[in-house]
């Protein structure tokens, strides 16, 4: 049996057994069909983000005697979470009775840990079939070699992975519109916009609504219709705003190097998608300059709060940590012979950069050293799906069109933790 498992791994790498769209579709269907309405966004008024962990294993009674033979696998959602909230520092409790970070990725990983604990209980205490098998050391367990886990998120994780180059032909984060600009000043002069105002208007990703750009009375309505200004700001990780083009000619080569290398050959980088995650104390910090040099890439960041700084690391940083230390956590590691790593990460349809994801999850961690035996930076496979989450901000915004009322993040995200932590003794 072990020989068959090893052959399965050798002949069928993780990324050849499934597609990104298959993973996304499975997660969306599980969310839509298998979960109750309680904790989900109110239709046409609320939105949320989704994350999940999918188990992949070969179907029974297969032989792996040829690398050209298709491998049949089963895909199963074993954990799922939704959420966009994170509490500020002042609301944290020493008693531990408040969940600090409720972003979808974190909720999904917590649920995955519960699934792992349950599977360990099955094999160690109840002597039942499980995803774990005995390790080489007495009393320790390890994951069955024929199993793989894929992490799915409906949107690019907040933090470093969300700092994505924006090309001249793409939508760009909005800048404040002044009477001077509305009087048709040149694009080259747009770098005179105040950086502090840029930050307030463009960086706030924790806004509860899609803010409308305040146009001066002199701004012709036709300019708005033609894309000179747009009502969307880049908020809470999701949107496709349009703004006046900002020339990158005023930026020096060093400032542009990290951003430009992510763009297609010959394409002009004029700006970057913004992240609301703040640099941790001690880091160099963002320049706040208009245009492509607004952010420094590769830095550790904490999630934004509503007027109260948080102590929770960004989802980009947490995914990078899991890619080095595993997803099992310190408690479960006492009973395991080796950490449990994700084989792949799949992102849903949204603003996305393969290079930014690679940098955030793998590239910036290459110098991590002095790790215990069995731990190390993993070459996790990263892919994007073309399927949009139906309750994402952009999808809900498109459906509601000119509907009255504000579009807000789901107020019941914390309630969703009740079904994110379902009893995993039953199959999903």
Q: Catalytic site residues?
A: 105
For 176-219, give the DSSP string: ---HHHHTT--GGGGGGS-HHHHHHHHS-TT-SS-PPP---TTS
Can you say how many angstroms the Cα of residue 107 is from the centroid of all Cα atoms in its chain?
A: 12
Q: Check: CB of residue 248 under 8 Å from CB of residue 268.
A: yes
Q: Check: CB of residue 83 under 8 Å from CB of residue 34.
A: no
What is the DSSP pairing of strand 381-384 with strand 344-347? parallel
From residue 411, give the alpha-carbon distance in Å to each of 47, 52, 58, 64, 239: 9, 20, 39, 49, 19
Structure tokens at 68: 């050209």
Task: Name 346's Cβ contacts closer than 8 Å, sequence gap at least 6.
Answer: 20, 23, 24, 150, 151, 152, 153, 382, 383, 384, 385
Query: Which residue, 223, 274, 275, 243, is CA-closest to 172?
Result: 243
**Phi-psi group of 10: left, alpha or beta (phi > 0 → left; psi -120 to 50 → alpha; rest → beta):** alpha
Q: How many CB atoms lie within 10 A of CB 220?
A: 13
Q: What are phi and psi of 332, to 5 degrees?
A: -65, -25
Secondary element (H or E) of residue 301 = strand 301-302
Q: Check: CB of residue 76 under 8 Å from CB of residue 100.
A: no
């Amino acid at each position: 049996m072990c020989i068959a498992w090893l052959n399965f791994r050798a002949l069928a790498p993780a990324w050849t057994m499934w597609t990104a769209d298959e993973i996304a579709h499975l997660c969306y269907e599980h969310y839509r069909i298998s979960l109750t309405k309680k904790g989900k966004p109110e239709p046409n008024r609320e939105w949320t983000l989704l994350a999940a962990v999918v188990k992949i294993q070969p179907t029974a009674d297969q032989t792996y005697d040829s690398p050209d033979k298709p491998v049949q696998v089963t895909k199963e959602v074993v954990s799922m979470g939704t959420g966009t909230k994170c509490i500020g520092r002042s609301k944290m409790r020493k008693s531990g009775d408040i969940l600090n970070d409720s972003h979808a990725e974190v909720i999904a990983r917590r649920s995955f840990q519960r699934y792992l604990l349950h599977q360990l209980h099955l094999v160690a205490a109840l002597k039942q079939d499980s995803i774990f098998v005995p390790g080489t050391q007495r009393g320790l367990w390890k994951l069955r070699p024929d199993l793989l886990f894929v992490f799915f998120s409906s949107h690019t994780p907040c933090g470093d992975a969300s700092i994505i180059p924006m090309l001249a032909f793409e939508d760009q984060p909005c800048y404040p519109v002044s009477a001077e600009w509305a009087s048709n000043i040149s694009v080259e002069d747009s770098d005179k916009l105040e950086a502090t105002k840029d930050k307030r208007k463009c960086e706030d990703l924790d806004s509860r609504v899609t803010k409308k750009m305040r146009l001066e009375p002199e701004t012709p309505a036709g300019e708005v219709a033609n894309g000179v200004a747009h009502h969307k700001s880049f908020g809470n990780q999701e949107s496709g705003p349009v703004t006046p083009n900002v020339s990158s000619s005023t930026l020096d080569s060093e400032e542009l190097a990290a951003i430009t290398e992510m763009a297609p050959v010959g394409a002009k980088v004029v700006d970057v998608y913004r992240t609301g995650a703040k640099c941790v104390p001690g880091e160099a910090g963002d320049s706040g300059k208009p245009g492509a040099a607004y952010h420094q890439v590769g830095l550790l960041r904490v999630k934004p709060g509503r007027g109260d700084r948080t102590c929770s690391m960004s989802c980009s940083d947490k995914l990078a940590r899991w890619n080095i230390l595993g997803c099992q956590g310190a408690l479960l590691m006492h009973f395991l012979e080796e950490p449990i790593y994700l084989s792949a990460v799949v992102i849903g349809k949204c603003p996305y950069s393969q290079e930014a994801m690679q940098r955030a999850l793998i590239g910036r961690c290459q110098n991590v050293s002095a790790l215990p035996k069995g731990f190390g930076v993993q070459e996790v496979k990263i892919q994007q799906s073309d399927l949009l989450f139906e309750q994402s901000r952009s999808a809900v915004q498109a459906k509601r069109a000119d509907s009255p009322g504000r579009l807000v993040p789901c107020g019941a995200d914390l309630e969703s933790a009740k079904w994110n932590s379902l009893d995993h003794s039953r199959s999903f």
